[in-house]
Structure 1
């Protein structure tokens, strides 16, 4: 472990480690030697491998005026973990990532304070953009830069539910665990509602349980429930289809059979599984349970779901089956997408004990369970070291 120093006034990095040899940092940056501290400075511990200090991680966050938005508590935990092990994370918005380097925000755990810092381009970019529109606006220019400078992008983008379904369906071991799904159209709407008593309609690009609707056949009419408490009655399939055509094209949604799952206290529940890249595959970081509360549309906590302990469930958790499903999901994701380092899965179970994969999420929300939250931070950090070629066991020797 070595120390690198950041001079706040001149916004420059320097080292007092070796006057003769070249110490590098990030992408193609040589850290100058300075014998004495001359101004207000910060000190950061780094690992050293082949005279390269690191790892330097950039966390890509959504912009707001004079700052950023995102999972701030996660960003703080990552920085705290990196500083303990040797390494640095800087939070940046897309405009702050340029060919000249990075102008971002660094969390100082000892002071519980954020400071602005300039760094060279990072060893890896961790995409935590919080909004779909930000990916649409900024991701193309970011990808050009990271491709030009060979910077791996960890978690390239949100998943498209239709694209994801097609990928998972290609796996023989997974396709029997997927609800029947199609792109939404008036034709598929009519077909599904004549086949199933209930169907889900989901926005292809949505998160946290938003953009999810449950359609229930009620004689010759159709009830639509959403995460709000409002229920809307439609007299025909045509009227229902026109509702989803109002704001954007109808095929920006998918339609899915509603699987009847094993209830708990009369409410639906599902497993929320967090997985991280580990070696050549994925391993489970934690398994939580989420139960629907007032509305029975989604179990997501931001949409009214509640947290339940696995011990409270009316069935023993089949960890072996869940692990097999996660392993196969990881295989499909890495075969299709670049640099998937983590994902979460929503998995339900029927009264017969069959498991169904309802959704995979590319940017998992924080788990409320403290042990899972802690392991998640540790495992994300491990992925950073693994992907950047640093080992957490390495010293400055």
Structure 2
């Protein structure tokens, strides 16, 4: 490994070995030399005369503006994990990338703050851009730039929930673990679906973290509407102001409770060698009588030990690998994803959602294992392997 030093006034990085010459970045631009050193330093791997990797983490300006105001534990953990073996993590927004350089923010471990810097184009890009709608509109031109410069991009976009359902429903194993799901259109007969399933979840196609979800249930001559804030009875479907599109309708599965509350398994998965492996399983409990387990809507986290005997690790490991192999055939560069799953009262596992950009897990052990797997993916994609 080599040490590089940060020059505060120039907002650049330099090496200080007078007898060596290095290149860095995907375009192998010369790494500048200086005789002076500074307390802000970083470590890079060497592959011949190439130093790296530079890992660009794609986000938006709003995140960058608050980097030193709001803590970003996952990004700081990735920085530290990458530095242990060599590599520079830099956050950037799509507007800051030019033909040969980009403006980014690196973490200064000594001062424990993010510092602005100019770097050559990265060796790999990890997409953590928030928001489905804005991502689709804003990143088309950036994707062209990245592709033309042969920069590997993983987590290239959010999954289409409907496309994933269609894909998995054709697979002999995965299809048996999916709740029946329908695309909401003006022509669909919701009354017939309620007769068939008795309870349905309505999920916005372009939302995450449980936002916009509501449930309809039929009880004799009454329709019960429930969302995160209210529960109301109606005499008919016509009395409810229902959306006409941009939603999926999912059969409600009666899941096994734990201490009288429903729970989900949040499974973090990464690509390792030729398989997809579990980096951790988080448990999320719903509040009493709530429709989701998301912590933003009052859900709570339980230690995995609480349900250790209830979780079939062998089945889940095989299931996760199968999901990854199927996703890999239809989406570019699938290196990580997460699954929302639960077990029915009959003991059958159901998959409710697949996420291309996993949530940030609060459990330290899951974060740590996930960061190790992600950094190994960086080395693999940039060919800076041991």
Query: Could you state the TM-score of these two structures normalised by the residue count of structure 1?
Result: 0.90
CA distance in 2, matches of 1:78, 1:362: 18
CA distance in 2, matches of 1:34, 1:382: 29
- Residues 254 and 362 (structure 1), Cα distance of their counterparts in 2 relative to 1, 3 Å cut: same
For 1:191, the equivalent position in structure 2 comes to: 192
- Residues 212 and 41 (structure 1), Cα distance of their counterparts in 2 relative to 1, 3 Å cut: same
Alignment of 1:221-370 (within 5 A): 221-228=222-229, 230-240=230-240, 242-245=241-244, 250=245, 252-313=246-307, 316-370=310-364
CA distance in 1, matches of 2:63, 2:77: 24
CA deviations 1:63-86 (Å, max 9, x no partner) are: 228725798211111111112211
Instruction: State the aligned residue count.
Output: 383
For 1:62, the equivalent position in structure 2 comes to: 60
Could you tell me which runs of 5 or more consecutive residues in structure 2 were left unpaired when the two chains were aligned: none
For 2:26, the equivalent position in structure 1 comes to: 27
Residue 325 of structure 1: how far off its partner (Å): 1.2
SS across alignment from 1:151: coil
Residue 8 of structure 1: how far off its partner (Å): 2.8
SS across alignment from 2:232: strand
For 2:157, the equivalent position in structure 1 comes to: 157
For 1:46, the equivalent position in structure 2 comes to: 44
CA deviations 1:9-40 (Å, max 9, x no partner) are: 2344433346565x211121422553522x86
The 10-residue stretch of structure 1 (372-381 or 57-66) with the greater mean CA deviation from structure 2: 57-66
CA distance in 2, matches of 1:17, 1:188: 72
Residue 239 of structure 1: how far off its partner (Å): 4.4
Q: Is the 8 A contact 1:159 1:205 kept in 2?
A: no
Residue 134 of structure 1: how far off its partner (Å): 2.5
Residue 157 of structure 1: how far off its partner (Å): 1.1
Q: Is the 8 A contact 1:158 1:205 kept in 2?
A: no
CA distance in 1, matches of 2:189, 2:332: 32
CA distance in 2, matches of 1:194, 1:364: 35
Q: Is the 8 A contact 1:19 1:33 kept in 2?
A: no
Q: Is the 8 A contact 1:92 1:105 kept in 2?
A: yes
Q: Is the 8 A contact 1:68 1:93 kept in 2?
A: no
Q: CA RMSD in A?
A: 2.2
CA distance in 1, matches of 2:369, 2:205: 30
- Residues 309 and 26 (structure 1), Cα distance of their counterparts in 2 relative to 1, 3 Å cut: same
Alignment of 1:162-177 (within 5 A): 162-177=162-177
The 10-residue stretch of structure 1 (293-302 or 156-165) with the greater mean CA deviation from structure 2: 293-302
Q: Is the 8 A contact 2:24 2:31 kept in 1?
A: no
Q: Is the 8 A contact 1:182 1:188 kept in 2?
A: no
For 1:116, the equivalent position in structure 2 comes to: 116
Q: Is the 8 A contact 2:40 2:110 kept in 1?
A: no
CA deviations 1:169-188 (Å, max 9, x no partner) are: 12211000000111013524
SS across alignment from 1:329: helix
CA distance in 2, matches of 1:231, 1:239: 14
SS across alignment from 1:243: coil
